[in-house]
């Protein structure tokens, strides 16, 4: 009998089951949302601050939190 294990989002990211993005990829995807007023590092810092992004290990790879709910600013 096979046992199914439900991974948490963080575990799935760390194990490589969730797509990860580089800072450059995140900038290309989300810079228009900020009218190109934020640079790459600022976009990533903001994403981490509001829990939209999760950093994968020591690498500069980030995953988008599927449970993120925008509350506006």
**pLDDT of 25-59, one tens digit each?**
999 999 999 999 999 999 999 999 999 998 887 77
Question: Is residue 4 domain-resident?
Answer: no
**pLDDT in the model for residue 65:** 86
How long is the chain? 73
The count of domains in the chain is: 1
Question: Is residue 30 domain-resident?
Answer: yes
Question: Is residue 28 domain-resident?
Answer: yes
Question: Is residue 37 domain-resident?
Answer: yes
Question: Is residue 70 domain-resident?
Answer: no
Q: Is the pLDDT of residue 18 over 80?
A: no
Question: Is residue 2 domain-resident?
Answer: no
Query: Containing domain of residue 14, as a range?
Result: 9-64
Query: What Cα–Cα distance (Å) separates residue 63 from each residue in 35, 37, 39, 50?
Result: 22, 22, 18, 13
CA dihedral 31, 37, 43, 47 (to 10 degrees): -90
**Mean pLDDT computed over 8-25:** 74
Residue 19 is classified by DSSP as -
Question: Is residue 72 domain-resident?
Answer: no
């Amino acid at each position: 009998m096979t046992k199914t294990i439900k991974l948490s989002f963080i575990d799935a990211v760390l194990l490589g089951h969730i797509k990860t993005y580089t800072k450059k990829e995140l900038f290309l995807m989300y810079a228009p949302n900020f009218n190109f007023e934020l640079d790459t590092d600022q976009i990533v810092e903001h994403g981490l601050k509001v829990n939209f992004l999760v950093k994968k290990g020591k690498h500069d790879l980030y995953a988008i939190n599927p449970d993120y709910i925008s509350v506006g600013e």
